[in-house]
Amino acid sequence: MKIFRHRIELVTTAPIEIIDITTQVREAAAASGMKDGLVTASCLHTTARLNVNEREDKLLRDMLTFLKRFAPRDGDYLHNLAPVDGRDNAHAHLIGLFMNSSETIPLADGALVLGEWQSIFFIELDGPRPKRGVELQIMGQT
């Protein structure tokens, strides 16, 4: 078994933003030379998450609306009374409780095993941010 690592660097531009990273993950899987194995994507932040879901414009807008309503930014949160980095971001941490910080996708014959409608998303919950990262670890056989 071999291991290949790659980091995807992102810049976010909105308070809550959904970014499709499927192409970057596919490119890293191809660069790894692995034929069969697993691709694990790990979000490096506590106020951002990863998700596999459908990429459809109206659904993406529904997702943004849902996240904003689920834990409103202007809620009465204790964390915001003394934020660690000066950001009132308790809402982002609370939303993150219900989302994944990593996703693992099978790799077969050199291709990601995703359903017809599935895409891999980085979900910013506390943007905008100038630097975000997703660490990929691809394990398998060449």
Residue 85, pLDDT > 90, answer no
The model's pLDDT over 15-51, given as tens digits with 9 standing for 90+, comes to 999 999 999 999 999 999 999 999 999 999 999 999 9
Which residue ranges make up each domain of the chain?
A: 2-141
Q: Model's pTM, two decimal places?
A: 0.96
Q: 109's torsion region: left (phi>0), alpha (psi -120 to 50) or beta? A: left
Contact 125, 19 (CB under 8 A): no
The DSSP secondary structure of 22-55, one letter per residue, reads: HHHHHHHHHHHT-SEEEEEEEE--TTEEEEEEE-
Task: Identify the pLDDT of residue 90.
Answer: 97
Single-letter amino acid code for the residue at 85: D
Please say whether the dihedral angle defined by the alpha carbons of residues 44, 48, 54 and 58, taken in this order, is positive or negative.
negative
Contact 63, 17 (CB under 8 A): no
Residue 83, pLDDT > 90, answer no
Single-letter amino acid code for the residue at 69: R
> Angle 106-108-113 (CA atoms, 0-180°, nearest 5)?
50
**Which residue do the tokens 């490096």 mark?**
44
Overall average pLDDT of the 50-74 stretch: 97
d(CA 103, CA 120): 8
CATH match of 2-141 with 2.70.98.50: no
> Angle 80-50-140 (CA atoms, 0-180°, nearest 5)?
140
Task: Identify the pLDDT of residue 86.
Answer: 87
